[in-house]
Structure 1
Amino acid sequence: MSIIEAITTALASNPILAAGVGTLLAGSVLYVLRAVPEKIMEALGTALWTKVSIESLSSEYADVDHFIEKRRINFFSRSLELKEGALQTGFGSGWGTYDGKIFKYAKARSTQQVVPYETINVAFLTRDRSVAERFLRDSQPADRRNSISVTLYGANGSTGSLRRNKRSLDTVFVDDAVKSRLVERITWFIGAEQWHAERGIPWKLGIILHGPPGTGKTSLIHALASSFGFNIKYIKSLHGLGAAFMHGTAKDLFVIEDIDTISGGLNRSGPDGNAANAANIVAQQSSPFHEVLNAMDGMQTPDGLKFIATTNHIGRLDPAIIRPGRIDEVIEIGPLSLASARRMFKAFYGRDGIGEYSPRTGAELQVMFSTKTAEEAEAALAASARSSVTVNHSPVSPPA
């Protein structure tokens, strides 16, 4: 007798066993069939809804939470909590409307982490991603939409944050070639994730701006961050630089001002370039020096990292800092050209001007234009230009 015949005979002679096996088979079939509609609904959800998740660690969380409260449908949203003396959206799920579209939200708290945090998941009944982007933008108060966040980082992490009003690139007076080069480089970088991945290159961007004090390096960084919608992470100490980079996102721009001074000079040959003191310099600064090297290499940094460092003395930086691979662009910002000085003059006085001119920094011209009339400024610039002309008084040799 075969195994199948034996099983058939046993089931036929034992109704209880047959019922048990039948129940088991029916349950298995129902379990499989139950997963089918779930998969169908999951596929429909992916096809019909646009989803976004915001964690309480994000600076946008409180704004989104408050924005949902204004747009939720009360009939479907019965979970409330007391906030600032009023009942508002609580934990749980609900529905709302925005820009003519229905959205559903779910607000939850996680206590599994060392520091508990909250999450809001919002799904819009549309395939149009721009609806979610507008929702996040409109959730920000007007003062936030017109400003950028500046977070300060010391040796032990973040030391606080503030907001700065956005600044237009048109209000920064550096030569147009410099501004165009930076805008084009950053624009290309933002969309070059795949380009870097295909070539096995870390997707990061490092820029050094160097030049005399007062040439507009800091103002230019402020305007670039405003133009691209970046938040600034301002590094005050090179100790902990790697940890600060690890917390960066694609919306952040790290700024290291006067990189040669906040660590005492990043040059293994010493600030004066003398190799005799190299051993002492390395002994004193090996920690920040090597931390900077490791942080800039890209192995310990998140994708999309962007940082701009400034210095008034490019020669004080060790060649290992500014070599290709760690730094992608080294850009000099010098005194203003005549064309840029004339644009600045017109911005201050509302008319064309400046005939004779010797190069000045933007800071010098700002002080002059803020304290003198247009005529006085033109006269002062002309006098300075004439006094800077060097006349060759060498005697002419008589013919042989």
Structure 2
Amino acid sequence: MVGYVETVSNGNQLLAAALMGSFTMALSGAVGFVLWKGPVGLARFIKRQGITSFAVSTNQWVSRDVYNSLSRYVYENRIGNFSRTIALVSEWKDKGDLLNSVREHSYGLGLGWHVFTFGKTILFAQKSRVEQAGTEITEEVTIFSIGRSPKTLQRLIDAVTPVEDEDGIRFFSLSKDGWKKQARIITGGLDSLALDENIKTFFRNEVKFYLNNRARYHDLNLAWKITFMLHGVPGTGKTSVIRAIAAEFAFNICTIDLKAVTTEVLNNAIAQMPPKSILLFEDCDGMAATANRSSTNKIVKLKNKDGDESPQSNNVSDALDGYSVDLQGFLNVLDGVIPLNDVVVFMTTNHIERIDDAVFRDGRTDHVIELPKLEPQL
């Protein structure tokens, strides 16, 4: 190399020094790169070949129960000298409604690395946090075990996964922490109801058409949803019909009180709904989200067997101040402005005349059904 430099520099000492410096820096960089990348690459190779991992996060509703249960298990079984980071876990406890809630605190798994035991096996956990678009934050826990077999991790996940009863309807209510699972209710399908057969057939056919035509909705650039408004005097079985449909077609039921949430909370909740759910808005009359702005409504009624229709009053509810979701925000939900796919929407009311006409426009509400009052059989 020295001879090559002397030949190129042709006796110019300054040029020779510059060339030697350049060659020296290039050689040092190459050696440093090899020395740095070599151990890093070797470590990554050993990790891929000798370590098994499992990750679960909060970015999907279906994995949140496992995430919470796994985090709690790691926290309760950590080896203290190696795992010294803890976090404050806050949870809203409802007292009747979202406006009367209290926040309860406990301690849980902190960010970073943890060492814990599962039986007689030592495992490693890493909790990390990723900020998504907007204000959404995703947390993730990754479990590592030494060895190539995933059996230990599979046994751990099986042990911490909550066991759920497969029978009955699963109810969700909206809290300040998002959707909360409530107790399951065992109930029958539409055949268990003392309801006119024409009405049962109508609901079956409409829901089946919706379920069997997902591609058609997408081809027409429509949200894959169907919306029902059920109305009638108290005691006609509006809630019972919804539960029966949920039982017959294996839907979840997610309930939202429009008087207790803001438009932003409503939008976020809909975007995070569990799949294959009924989105239920009960008692929609008398609130700002649906209040009638005029004195007339064009209502489509489902007549009873005798062909009679009961008259409706046109009283509009006052005292709407203090409610959070306005009409435009609610219409955006029905329009599917927020992604509203794989959802059946039900609204119920005892006073259909109090609902604004805009709620019933095509594309927002597909069917407005009056459930007739049941008459005693002689």
> Partners in 2 of 1:36 and 1:322 — Cα distance?
63
- After the TM superposition, which residues 113-262 of structure 1 pair with which residues of structure 2 at under 5 Å, given as runs? 119-122=139-142, 135=157, 139-140=161-162, 148-151=170-173, 163-170=182-189, 172-173=192-193, 174=195, 175=197, 176-178=200-202, 180-181=204-205, 183-184=207-208, 187-188=211-212, 192=214, 199-225=220-246, 228=250, 230=252, 232-237=254-259, 240-241=262-263, 243-248=265-270, 249-251=272-274, 253-262=278-287
Is contact 1:242–1:301 with CA below 8 Å preserved after alignment?
A: no
Q: 1:342 — aligned with what?
A: none
Letter in 2 for 1:259: C
Is contact 2:57–2:138 with CA below 8 Å preserved after alignment?
A: no
Is 1:107 the equivalent of 2:127?
A: yes
Distance change in 2, residues 1:209/1:107 (3 Å)? same
Moved more, 315-324 or 178-187: 178-187
TM-score normalised by L of structure 2: 0.55
Q: CA deviation at 1:333?
A: 4.0
> Partners in 1 of 2:158 and 2:372 — Cα distance?
40
Segments of 5+ residues of structure 2 without an aligned counterpart are 10-14, 90-106, 299-313
Letter in 2 for 1:168: T
Letter in 1 for 2:241: L
Q: Which has the higher contact order (CA 8 A, sep 6+)?
A: 2
Is contact 1:297–1:326 with CA below 8 Å preserved after alignment?
A: yes
> Partners in 1 of 2:220 and 2:184 — Cα distance?
38
Q: CA deviation at 1:210?
A: 3.4
Task: Work out which of the residue numbers 23, 27, 31 in structure 1 matches 2:28.
Answer: 23
> Partners in 1 of 2:161 and 2:370 — Cα distance?
40
> Partners in 2 of 1:43 and 1:200 — Cα distance?
44
Distance change in 2, residues 1:80/1:25 (3 Å)? closer
TM-score normalised by L of structure 1: 0.53
The root-mean-square deviation of aligned C-alpha atoms, in Å, is 6.0
Distance change in 2, residues 1:257/1:21 (3 Å)? same
Percentage of identical aligned residues: 19
> Partners in 1 of 2:182 and 2:16 — Cα distance?
78
Q: CA deviation at 1:53?
A: 1.0
Q: CA deviation at 1:79?
A: 2.6
Letter in 1 for 2:208: E
Is contact 1:205–1:306 with CA below 8 Å preserved after alignment?
A: yes
Letter in 2 for 1:213: P
Distance change in 2, residues 1:146/1:304 (3 Å)? closer
Q: CA deviation at 1:19?
A: 1.8
Distance change in 2, residues 1:289/1:7 (3 Å)? farther
Q: CA deviation at 1:65?
A: 2.7
Letter in 1 for 2:227: G
Q: 1:299 — aligned with what?
A: 337
Is 1:309 the equivalent of 2:347?
A: yes
> Partners in 1 of 2:159 and 2:18 — Cα distance?
72
Deviations 1:299-320 (A, max 9, x none): 2456555532123455654443
Deviations 1:98-148 (A, max 9, x none): 9xxx9974324689999998834346999x9xx99x958962266899774
Is contact 2:289–2:327 with CA below 8 Å preserved after alignment?
A: no
Q: CA deviation at 1:326?
A: 1.6
Q: Higher helix proportion, which one?
A: 1
Letter in 2 for 1:18: F
Distance change in 2, residues 1:182/1:66 (3 Å)? farther
> Partners in 1 of 2:269 and 2:257 — Cα distance?
13
Deviations 1:43-68 (A, max 9, x none): 999xx977431379996354343355
